[in-house]
Amino acid sequence: MKKLGLALSGGGFRAAAFHLGTLRKLQTLGILDKVEVLSTISGGSITGALYALNIDNFTEFEKKLRTGLKKSMLTTSWLLVGLVGPILLVLPFFLAYWAWWALIFYIPIILLFIKYQFNILPLGKLIEKRYGTTFYGKNELQDLPDKPLLAINSTNVETGRPFTFSREKMNDSFYEYPGAGKKPILFKHKLFPVSRAVMASTCVPFAFTPVKIGKQYFKDKKDIGKIDPTLIDGGVYDNQGIHKLSHPGSSYECGTIIVSDAGTGFKPVTKMNNTLVLLIQTSNLFMNRIKNIQFMGNVILNKYLGNKAIAYFSLGYEPISCINYFVDYLKDGKIITSVIHSHDLTEKDVSKMDKEYLKSYIKDRIGYSDLEKSFPSREVLEQAKNVGTNLTSLSDQKIDALVGVAEALTELQVRLYCPDLLK
């Protein structure tokens, strides 16, 4: 088991900018160089991969990321959709007006479009190309550093499991550990493009073309045709990136974990006027439910299931609420013993203190009054929360807002949940 892992959540360019703030603060605190595993999802993979490829020059990494975040990844893609979509929609009405019997010829076109949609609209390949020209060039998995070990996570809809790309391997557990008497299916990962791995991690279902593993990457040619890895956004399985770091027996498992989550929580929708809105909100509900279950298992029940030091923070958190929650967890016995002792407390001390006194003690202990001076204003916090989770360009103002919020929350939660990292 490795010592320190950092998880960067999904959330498009909003997440990419938010995680820049996390990395900046961890560097300032002298913690970033201690990270042994960097587990990334979707928007977090955009930032994580670029950081890993510029591990020796943080200034250059930040410059490249900020420049890239000001460019939309969708220009070419949506232009293509804008041309093909309307044509397919308008064509039947035109045919019906011109000659109703001509609709007979339209049906095969629709069937062909359905069958070969990903070939006709290769949105995933277009985004991958944009990633390459904007962020990663022609770098391959073999170009990633040994430390931190970067784990770029996607979801394999064929197996229903995470498919992870790293310098050491690319695979999912279904192929790698197929069971007694079965031969594992392995892949040649070294020459796999980083931009394609990030595309797989950010491949939003229904919006982009799923990523396939080409025949040239199978170690044993006999395995070609036996499986068909179909990769989509890693957030479908785990939108926080914590699974690989906390799962017992995982080659990426760590004893101490920091989780940077660019999510803002579930937002109610009062009007369901069409199927599209219903589909999007249903997807949001699924994702939020998965996140809550993971939070319960990895954070709330961690003392009993994992006994790891985990500093988790989300864009939706209020700084003062972080203190309140920590004190509640202390009083409810949900903080691991080593963290309690790091605050010069014992379980007996905690049980004797009332909440207000304990809150005052913890504030003094972590220097909350000094931290409070760097907290973003309400206006900046709301601006950060309102940034969308797509891949469209961000202004400097929005990037700065997200970075500022992340920096404040990172230091606060590390001081609360992982104080030993600062010693």
Mean pLDDT, residues 44-62: 97
Mean pLDDT, residues 382-408: 95
Spatial separation of the C-alpha atoms in residues 26 and 147, rounded to whole Å = 16
The pairing of strands 254-261 and 2-8 is parallel
Write the burial class of residue 160 (CB in 10 Å: 0-12 exposed, 13-18 middle, 19+ buried): exposed
**Residue 143 corresponds to which amino acid?**
D
Spatial contact of 18 and 383, defined as CB atoms under 8 Å apart? no
The position carrying tokens 């491949």 is: 203
In the prediction, which pLDDT does 400 show?
97
Is the pLDDT at 77 greater than 80, yes or no? no
In the prediction, which pLDDT does 76 show?
54
In the prediction, which pLDDT does 423 show?
84
**Residue 219 corresponds to which amino acid?**
K
Q: Flag whether the pTM goes above 0.75.
A: yes
Side-chain-side CA neighbours of residue 238 (13 Å): 29
Distances (CA, A) of 416 to 114, 229, 294, 312, 341: 52, 41, 20, 10, 12
Structure tokens at 203: 């491949």
Structure tokens at 41: 């999802």
In the prediction, which pLDDT does 80 show?
54
For 136, the 3-state DSSP assignment is helix
Spatial contact of 399 and 388, defined as CB atoms under 8 Å apart? no
Mean pLDDT is lowest, of 26-40, 276-290, 340-354, for 276-290
The predicted-structure confidence for 189-225, as pLDDT tens digits, reads as follows 999 999 999 999 999 887 788 999 999 999 999 999 9
Nearest to 12 by CA among 170, 172, 234: 234
Spatial contact of 322 and 378, defined as CB atoms under 8 Å apart? no
Spatial contact of 309 and 337, defined as CB atoms under 8 Å apart? no
Is the pLDDT at 11 greater than 80, yes or no? yes
Is the pLDDT at 148 greater than 80, yes or no? yes
The predicted-structure confidence for 164-174, as pLDDT tens digits, reads as follows 999 999 999 99
Determine the Cα angle at 173 with ends 170 and 174, to 5°.
115
DSSP 315: T
In the prediction, which pLDDT does 281 show?
80
Spatial separation of the C-alpha atoms in residues 218 and 229, rounded to whole Å = 11
The predicted-structure confidence for 243-273, as pLDDT tens digits, reads as follows 999 988 899 999 999 999 999 877 787 777 7
Between residues 131 and 79, which one has the greater pLDDT? 131
In the prediction, which pLDDT does 375 show?
93
In the prediction, which pLDDT does 305 show?
74
Write the burial class of residue 71 (CB in 10 Å: 0-12 exposed, 13-18 middle, 19+ buried): middle
Structure tokens at 74: 């969708």
Spatial separation of the C-alpha atoms in residues 236 and 255, rounded to whole Å = 25
Spatial contact of 90 and 83, defined as CB atoms under 8 Å apart? no
Distances (CA, A) of 244 to 234, 238, 259, 326: 12, 9, 12, 25
Structure tokens at 47: 């930032």
Mean pLDDT is lowest, of 77-86, 89-98, 346-355, for 77-86
Kindly state the helix (H) or strand (E) to which residue 356 belongs, with its residue range. Answer: helix 355-366
Spatial separation of the C-alpha atoms in residues 11 and 408, rounded to whole Å = 19
Nearest to 303 by CA among 273, 274, 340: 340
The predicted-structure confidence for 99-127, as pLDDT tens digits, reads as follows 655 666 666 666 665 565 566 566 778 88
Spatial separation of the C-alpha atoms in residues 405 and 295, rounded to whole Å = 21
Structure tokens at 189: 């990962």
Share of the chain above pLDDT 90, in %: 71
**Residue 207 corresponds to which amino acid?**
A
The position carrying tokens 């197996």 is: 159
Spatial separation of the C-alpha atoms in residues 89 and 129, rounded to whole Å = 28
Q: Where are the beta strands (DSSP E) in 299-345?
A: 309-314
In the prediction, which pLDDT does 122 show?
66
Spatial separation of the C-alpha atoms in residues 35 and 6, rounded to whole Å = 7
Q: Helix axis angle, 396-417 relative to 58-69, nearest 10°?
A: 130
Spatial contact of 244 and 39, defined as CB atoms under 8 Å apart? yes
The predicted-structure confidence for 317-351, as pLDDT tens digits, reads as follows 988 899 999 999 999 999 999 999 999 999 999 99
> Residues 6 or more apart from 149 whose CB is under 8 A from it?
2, 36, 37, 38, 166, 167, 168, 252
Spatial contact of 211 and 203, defined as CB atoms under 8 Å apart? yes
Q: What is the 3-state secondary structure (H, E, C) of 404-417?
A: HHHHHHHHHHHHHH
| Mean pLDDT (the chain, rounded) | 89
Question: In this structure, what are the phi and psi dihedrals at residue 369, rounded to the nearest 5 degrees?
Answer: -65, -35
In the prediction, which pLDDT does 335 show?
93
